[in-house]
Amino acid sequence: MFDPPESMHVEFERALGVVRGRLGADHPLYINGLNVWGAGFIEKTSPIRHELIGRFSAAGRAELEAAVTAAARAHSAWRGLEVSARVALMHRVAQLIEERVYLIAAALCLEVGKNRLEALAETQETADFFKIYADEFQASGGFDRPLPDDPLPNVRSRNRSVLKSHGVWAVVAPFNFPLALAGGPTAAALVTGNTVVLKGASDAPWATRLLADCIADAGVPPGVFNLLWGQGSEVGAALCQHPNIAGLTFTGSYEVGMSLCRHMVSGAYVRPCIAEMGGKNACIVTESADLDQAVPGIIRSAFGLGGQKCSALSRLYVEASVMDKLAQRLIQAMQALAIGDPTQRQHWLGPLISERAVAKYESFIQQLHAGGAQIVSGGSRLVTGELAKGCYVAPTLAAAAATHPLMSVEMFAPILMMSAVPDVEHGVALANDTPLGLTAGIYGSASDVAYFLEHIEAGTLYVNRQLGATTGAWPGYQAFTGWKGSGSTNKGIGSFYYLSQYLREQSQTVIE
């Protein structure tokens, strides 16, 4: 993706033309293998220039009940399928996503404001989730493993450990990776024998409708996968609180995630809740750092997708001796960023997701000033030319005290706060001074790195990485996990340990 062939751009342009011809259509929910219309619609406009993407049917209580009921009825037959049959269906879903990769990516560009390479990467990542999780489940033998027989005379005692599905699994996806963070948990839940009700992001519903089309066209039986849209405070909350939901995967804020975790343990028995709850991610730059590696890694992590990533770099702790030099190089790199319509090849950075997000950005800029921070670069909405038609803001670098109130706030905006530290030990201490612990990075010497790896409190770490200081996990290459308040299970997406979270163990002893 950092050196794409020309053919990739040609195919994307062709797909973009096709997708533009589909703008403005009405899109139904997907329940029990059927397209279903709710009582109203969510109108989705593009953040690029506020053109209508489409109208997406909004679920009410009746549609929610129908989806959960369909998933519950389908569970017994779905979990009873041979492992090889479920694996084959997941591979077919992956194949269809790959066949439609350019069309789906073009829709992501228009809907979310991703640039074409990020959109293509997310689409391929989603296909990879379906393939990797299916292959891992098959390689594990479906988590059905023999244990030693009891050492009893004159008795044959057969023992097994079997992991079995829970039932109806709810997936609640965010807007920033509306395909991958819907598709990944869905793939894991389905291949392990659960049925799924997915609540897609209201700010990015088209992605999940395209995912539903791939799942349906792959031949996944009716009721096994169901798709709803609606406001998170209404449909999302009702889905997660439904008594027939056996497990839940949520990606979003710490506050909502913790509330859901508490709910899932508060019933008659504890139900699994896999919550990825954001980050306040830090990077440390020491005087030994190679700035040729550090500068592009910092820029990509802080400002990619407008900082609207849970893994985005938000806090930068720099040894005082290199502070000014690094700041100047960052300013130069920021000023060179191509900002504009992300469907156009030359633009690296597109808009924020909505006018609501722009308003939050402007509020954070005011709070930076109020707290005594110095805006080194950026700090305003972009309103020249075509940019005035969309949700564009300037990437922002602010020099601030480590005690500034926003040092503890996940902003989800292209704002990077920078503070001077005397040494790597102080940098690590400040990086750890947060209830969150998703990603972290460092640029420095071998001794700096050794200290960082031993003492940092985060789940996903990057060292001297030019491709991203705190971002960029890829299925099959990096696990992506959070510590502390960033994750409820401390098991990573795409890791060796992820699938078993969707299963419960049963010990079987049979006397022959």
Query: Is the confidence at residue 1, as pLDDT, over 70?
Result: no
Residue 343 and residue 208 share a domain: no
Nearest residue to 245 (alpha-carbon basis) of 229, 278, 267: 267
User: Which among 111, 122, 136, 276 is annotated as catalytic?
Assistant: 276
Query: Is the confidence at residue 27, as pLDDT, over 90?
Result: yes
Does residue 130 lie in a domain region?
A: yes
Residue 408 and residue 340 share a domain: yes
User: Can you tell me the mean pLDDT for 9-19?
Assistant: 97
Residue 377 and residue 449 share a domain: yes
**Segment 79-134, tens digit of pLDDT:** 999 999 999 999 999 999 999 999 999 999 999 999 999 999 999 999 999 999 99
Query: Is the confidence at residue 233, as pLDDT, over 80?
Result: no
Give the separation between CA 383 and CA 377, rounded to whole angstroms: 16
Query: Is the confidence at residue 359, as pLDDT, over 70?
Result: yes
Told to judge if 122 belongs to the known catalytic residues of this protein, a careful annotator would answer no
Helices (H), 57-204: 61-80, 83-99, 101-112, 116-139, 180-191
Q: What are the φ/ψ torsions at residue 276 (nearest 5 degrees)?
A: -105, 115
Does residue 370 lie in a domain region?
A: yes
**CB–CB of 485/437 below 8 Å?**
yes
Query: Band of the pLDDT at 3, cuts 50, 70, 90?
Result: confident
Q: Which two tokens stand for residue 462?
A: 């990057």
User: Can you tell me the mean pLDDT for 356-383?
Assistant: 97
151-155, 340-344, 381-385: the lowest-pLDDT one: 151-155
Residue 362 and residue 226 share a domain: no
Residue 322 and residue 252 share a domain: no
Query: Is the confidence at residue 475, as pLDDT, over 90?
Result: no
- Name residues whose C-beta falls within 8 Å of residue 212's C-beta, 6 or more positions apart in sequence: 30, 198, 225, 227
**CB–CB of 315/438 below 8 Å?**
no
pLDDT for res 9: 96
Told to judge if 276 belongs to the known catalytic residues of this protein, a careful annotator would answer yes
User: Which among 240, 283, 310, 391 is annotated as catalytic?
Assistant: 310
Does residue 484 lie in a domain region?
A: no
Query: Band of the pLDDT at 232, cuts 50, 70, 90?
Result: confident
pLDDT for res 65: 97
Residue 95 and residue 21 share a domain: yes
Query: Is the confidence at residue 78, as pLDDT, over 80?
Result: yes
Residue 194 and residue 311 share a domain: no
Does residue 504 lie in a domain region?
A: yes
Tracing tokens 């704002």 back to the chain, one arrives at 415
Name the helix (H) or strand (E) containing 342: none
Nearest residue to 286 (alpha-carbon basis) of 93, 487, 425, 489: 425
**Segment 29-45, tens digit of pLDDT:** 999 999 999 989 999 99
- Name residues whose C-beta falls within 8 Å of residue 22's C-beta, 6 or more positions apart in sequence: 54
Does residue 482 lie in a domain region?
A: no
Q: How confident is the prediction for the chain on average, in pLDDT?
A: 96
User: Can you tell me the mean pLDDT for 74-78?
Assistant: 98
Residue 313 and residue 271 share a domain: no
pLDDT for res 234: 84
Residue 252 and residue 230 share a domain: yes
Query: Is the confidence at residue 419, as pLDDT, over 90?
Result: yes
Q: Which domain holds residue 269?
A: 6-277+489-511
Residue 74 and residue 163 share a domain: yes
Query: Can you give the CATH number for the domain in which 218 is found?
Result: 3.40.605.10
Q: Count of domains in the chain?
A: 2
SS3 463: strand
Query: Band of the pLDDT at 2, cuts 50, 70, 90?
Result: low
pTM listed for this prediction:
0.96
Does residue 48 lie in a domain region?
A: yes
The angle subtended at Cα 249 by Cα 112 and Cα 93, nearest 5°, is 65
Strand order of the sheet with strand 144-147? 144-147, 157-165, 503-511
**Segment 173-195, tens digit of pLDDT:** 999 999 999 999 999 999 999 99
Residue 296 and residue 214 share a domain: no
**CB–CB of 180/125 below 8 Å?**
yes
SS3 442: strand
Residue 289 and residue 238 share a domain: no
First-residue to last-residue Cα distance in the chain:
57
Query: Can you give the CATH number for the domain in which 416 is found?
Result: 3.40.309.10
Does residue 1 lie in a domain region?
A: no
**Segment 240-290, tens digit of pLDDT:** 999 999 999 999 999 999 999 999 999 899 999 999 999 999 999 999 999
